Amino acid sequence: MKLTPQEYDKMNTQASPKSKLWKDCVWAFLVGGAICLLGEVLRKSYAAGGMTLGDAGALTSVTLIAISALTTALSWYQKLAAKAGAGTLVPITGFANAVVSPAIEFKCEGYVPGVGAKMFLIAGPVIVYGLLASTVWGVLYYFLRPFI
Average pLDDT over residues 46-54: 94
Of 9, 132, 29, 146, whose CA–CA distance to 85 is shortest? 29
Domain assignment present for 51: yes
Q: What is the pLDDT of residue 34?
A: 94
Domain assignment present for 6: no
Domain assignment present for 132: yes
- The DSSP output letter for 17 is P
Residue 38 has pLDDT above 70, yes or no: yes
Q: How many domains does the chain have?
A: 1
Q: What is the pLDDT of residue 115?
A: 54
Domain assignment present for 7: no
Domain assignment present for 9: no
pTM across the whole model: 0.65
Domain assignment present for 43: yes
Domain that residue 86 falls in: 21-147
Domain assignment present for 71: yes
Q: What is the pLDDT of residue 89?
A: 82
In percent, the amount of the chain with pLDDT more than 90 equals: 32
Domain assignment present for 77: yes
